[in-house]
Amino acid sequence: MAISLKKGGSINLTKKEPGLKKMMIGLGWEMKPGSSLDLDASVFILGKNRKLIADEYFVFYNNLTSPDGAIQHTGDNRTGEGEGDDEMILANLEVLNSEVHEILVVVSIHEAEARGHHFGLLKDAYIRIVDVEKDRVILNYDLDESNPTNTVMEFGKLEKRGGEWHFVASGIGGNQGLQGLIDVYA
Ligand SMILES: [Ca+2]
Ligand SMILES: [Ca+2]
C-alpha cells in the first residue's frame, strides 16, 4: 500500500523500496470553481553544496531532460484539467550523475504576479511517486494547507544521505517566484 506523507514527513526509499530505479514523480492539481491557473513543475538537481551541478541540471518546461538523461520532464500542462497527474517527471537513479545529492521538485504558478494568481486558488494539489517497473504507487503527499500568499513551493525532494535515497515532503511555500529559487540554487 502507498504511504501517505504529511508536510515534513519522509521515507527512506533505499530501505523501503530496495531495487527501486525508475520512478515517475507525478503532480496533480484541481482548481476551486471559477479559477484557472497554470502550475509548472521544475526540478533542481543539486550537488553536495546544494547548488545546480550545472545550469542544464535545472529541468523545466524549456529544458526537458538533464544532461545525464536521468531526469525527464514530460511536458507542460497549462490548465490542470482532469483527474490524475497533470505534470510528470521521470527519474532513473541508475544513470543519475554520481555528484547528485538532491533532486528538488518545485511547483510555481506561471505569471502569478501579472495574473494575481496564488496557491489559495487550488482545491487540491498532490505529489506522488510511482515505481515505474513495478507499476505501483510508493507514496503520495497531498498539500493540506491553502497557502493563499504563495506563488511557488518546494513541494518535495529526493535526498541522498549516507548513500541512501530519502524522499521528503517539504511543502515549503514562498512568494519569490521561480526566478527567486533559481537565484538561490544556480
Ligand atoms: Ca504548466
Ligand atoms: Ca488535474
Please determine, for residue 169, whether its predicted confidence score (pLDDT) is greater than 80. yes
User: What spacing in Å lies between the alpha carbon of 177 and ligand 2's midpoint?
Assistant: 22
From CA 96, how far away is CA 47, in angstroms rounded?
A: 12
Residues 107-131 have pLDDT tens digits of 999 999 899 999 999 988 999 999 9
Going by pLDDT thresholds of 50, 70 and 90, the confidence category of residue 145 is confident
The ligand that comes nearest to the alpha carbon of residue 124 is 2
Q: Higher-confidence residue: 56 or 83? A: 56
Contacts of 32 (CB under 8 A, 6+ apart): 121, 122, 123
User: What spacing in Å lies between the alpha carbon of 164 and ligand 1's midpoint?
Assistant: 31
Q: What pLDDT was estimated at residue 146?
A: 75
The ligand that comes nearest to the alpha carbon of residue 123 is 2
Q: Which domains does the chain have, with CATH numbers?
A: 3-185 (2.60.60.30)
The ligand that comes nearest to the alpha carbon of residue 37 is 1
Mean pLDDT in residue range 154-166 = 96
The ligand that comes nearest to the alpha carbon of residue 74 is 1
Mean pLDDT in residue range 18-32 = 95
User: What spacing in Å lies between the alpha carbon of 123 and ligand 2's midpoint?
Assistant: 10
62, burial (CB in 10 Å: exposed 0-12, middle 13-18, buried 19+): exposed
CB of 78 within 8 A of CB of 100? no
Say which range, 24-33, 93-102, 144-153, 171-180, has the weakest mean pLDDT.
144-153
User: What spacing in Å lies between the alpha carbon of 8 and ligand 2's midpoint?
Assistant: 24
The ligand that comes nearest to the alpha carbon of residue 126 is 2
User: What spacing in Å lies between the alpha carbon of 162 and ligand 1's midpoint?
Assistant: 34
